[in-house]
Amino acid sequence: MSGTKRMLEEVAERMEIDDPNDPRVEAEANRLLSLGERRFVVLETHPNSGGCWVGKLGTGSEVLEYLKDLEKKGQLDYVGNIIE
């Protein structure tokens, strides 16, 4: 799943709109991107297959909260590089 698609799905969910392709969702996603906030992506890998997927797309504080949640659940084994 692409980062853009994931972002549209997250924005749609927050706006409580079923269709992530709704023009209101796209407008809000563009507004968020234009705020100048750095956005980060958490890439998760499957320990056996090595497959990779986007676990979280968000601002720095949202990503840190997500990582802390994984740690509390015992699902955070390794944090590699944090890149922008």
> What is the C-alpha to C-alpha distance for residues 45 and 50, in angstroms, rounded to an integer?
6
- Beta partners for 56? 42
Residues shown for the chain: 84
- Indicate the number of domains in the chain: 2
Residues 2 and 19 in one domain: yes
In this prediction the pTM is 0.43
Domain assignment of residue 84, yes or no: no
Confirm if 21 and 3 have CB atoms less than 8 A apart: no
Given a cut of 50, whether residue 30 has pLDDT beyond it is yes
Residues 43 and 73 in one domain: yes
Whole-number pLDDT of residue 3: 65
- Region 38-50 average pLDDT: 70
Residues 54 and 43 in one domain: yes
**45: helix, strand or coil:** strand
Residues 46 and 62 in one domain: yes
